[in-house]
Homo-oligomer: A and B are copies of this chain.
Amino acid sequence: MSRRNTASKSAVLHLIQQSDCALSQEMVADRLRTDINRSTIYRILNRFVEDGLVHRVVGEDGRQYFARCSGCTPEVHRHDHPHFHCTACERVECLSEPVNISIPAGYRAQFLNVTVSGLCGDCSSDHEKAPSAGGRKGLS
């Protein structure tokens, strides 16, 4: 079951590799010039995860976001970095500093998902300037 190259696959991969933050299926669809079916995008993304090209992040909202493996070589994959999920602009970005969680003896760790949510730099300063503006979502 070897992989085949298709325009859709290349387009999605390119998008994710260019992006400086993790993308949801919806974000991918929005940024593509051509229309690709929703299920197809999901399937492409899941295949990328299987193949180790991108990693999956579960956002604070429970949705899946996909990001390139920055700092990963084809040989070494480390996805133990935190993510910052901005509750205003919805950007999910990878932070660089790895985290180390110790788990109880006898447990087997498989995946790690670390997400800090709040306001990113841009939205944080927007917020200072316009504390009572209506544009943003549910932040006091």
A49 on the B face (CB < 8 A): no
Known contacts A62-B58, A62-B62, A125-B106; decide if A112 and B101 are in contact (CB<8 Å): no
A101 in contact with B114 (CB, 8 Å): yes
A95 in contact with B103 (CB, 8 Å): yes
A32 on the B face (CB < 8 A): no
Distance in angstroms between the alpha carbons of A124 and B109 in the assembled complex = 10
A114 in contact with B117 (CB, 8 Å): no
Interface bits A92-133 vs B (CB < 8 Å: 1, else 0):
000101010111111111111111111111001101000000
A84 on the B face (CB < 8 A): yes
A108 in contact with B119 (CB, 8 Å): yes
A52 on the B face (CB < 8 A): no
Distance in angstroms between the alpha carbons of A105 and B121 in the assembled complex = 7
Q: Whole-angstrom distance from the CB of A129 to the nearest CB of chain B? A: 13
A33 on the B face (CB < 8 A): no
A60 on the B face (CB < 8 A): yes
Q: Whole-angstrom distance from the CB of A56 to the nearest CB of chain B? A: 9
B124 in contact with A106 (CB, 8 Å): yes
Known contacts A58-B60, A62-B62, A62-B63; decide if A103 and B84 are in contact (CB<8 Å): yes
* Across-interface contacts of A10 in B (CB, < 8 A): none
